[in-house]
Amino acid sequence: MEYSKKIKLLREKMFVSQRELADILGVSFASVNRWETGKFEPTIKSKKKLHELFTKYKI
């Protein structure tokens, strides 16, 4: 599965908006939006935080 799709799936499983996920991760709304559209990849720091959430929500 593409990373962008995994991020969107995570967000949907958490029942949060892009802005709320951005707040949880400590990044901007635009960053989350760009990740989900596949325009950019998260930084290593953000990927570590995402990995923790992927594990927690079994994605």
What is the model's pLDDT at position 54? 96
pLDDT one-digit tens code per residue, 4-52: 999 999 999 999 999 999 999 999 999 999 999 999 999 999 999 999 9
pTM (predicted TM-score): 0.92
Could you please report the per-residue DSSP string of 29-52?
A: HHHHHHHHHTSS---HHHHHHHHH
Position 1 scores a pLDDT of 82
> How far is Cα 56 from Cα 30, in angstroms, rounded to an integer?
24
Q: Which domains does the chain have, with CATH numbers?
A: 3-56 (1.10.260.40)
